Amino acid sequence: MHNRMLDKGADTITRICAQIQENEEVLIITETRYEAISDAIVRAVKKLHGLPTVMIMEARNRDGEEPDQIIAAAMKASDVFLCIVSHSITHTHAVKNATAAGSRGLVLTQFHEDMLIHGGITCDFVKAKETCMAVAECLENGHHIHLETAAGTNLTLEAEGRRGNALYGVVDPGMFSTIPTIEANVSPLEYTANGVIVADASIPYVGIGLLKEPVICTVEKGFITDIQGGEQAMILKEHLHNKQDPNVFNIAELGIGLNPRSSFIGWMLEDEGVYGSAHIGIGTSITLGGTVKAACHYDLIMKEATVSIDGKRILDHGSVLV
């Protein structure tokens, strides 16, 4: 019975989001712990008369670590790649090179079986496209961007010349998207972000998840220079310092969540898509239009954000205005 329940979400991923066609070569990259999910995906691909290939990958040691070369080559050669993994390979050269070669991909990081049944996966992804693209268009080439929250976030950044990214869960050739998050984002110009980030919703990495108290980050000239708060803040601070890579403190992304069916549960691809939330991605930015490759990419998520671009408010306390 439970497997049949997984099939509906797998059908959404393969038929609607990946748009798999007959005889397309579909690469499924997964780990042994996700067997039930990958099996559901294989069943769904076969129903569409696609050609599934499953590659079992050893779990990466950290988010942002490149997959093995043989997997990266297979991604590049595929028509579609689906990544069901515990540590994100979204922000890697492998994904960037695969999409540049014309493949299209979906990333299902930290997926658990309930995420194929409930929550963000039940969204109408096609319907969400219009709003997501409109918000991404506003973010693109924004000269002066201002992010605020009631919890105390007050951050400015610049994105002149940078593209806006619309990740609405439906991919065409040359595109990738995370799922079930729906978000519009932009990678700011390096060294331009200044102010303070007060994450009050979630940091779904390194065992932190839902926040018990705010994590306060000081930002100067594009980098986090200080992290304050309680125990969870100290976990983040210590973990980042242990990377021994100054680029992990880079302000890599401003994202706006746009999935009305997502809620904060402490898992990355649900939390960062919560409608009206905002997140600041730190670390790697190369897949989003930036220039930085770091040892990780983490998101600091805030509730009910307000975002203004060149004096025009596009998000007001969590309400989308475009």
Q: What is the CATH number of domain 2-117?
A: 3.40.1830.10
| Digit-coded pLDDT (tens) for 231-267 | 999 999 999 999 999 999 999 999 999 999 999 999 9
CA distances 192 to 34, 54, 158, Å, are 40, 42, 6
Distance, CA of 139 to CA of 162 (rounded, Å): 9
Q: CA torsion angle for 195, 246, 190, 237 (degrees, to 10)? A: -30
281: part of which helix (H) or strand (E)? strand 278-283
Give Dmax (Cα) for the chain.
54
Distance, CA of 140 to CA of 164 (rounded, Å): 4
Q: pTM score, two decimals?
A: 0.88
Read off the pLDDT of each residue in 286-297 and give the average, rounded to a whole number.
94
Give me the residue spans of the domains in the chain: 2-117, 124-320
| Digit-coded pLDDT (tens) for 262-279 | 999 999 899 999 999 999
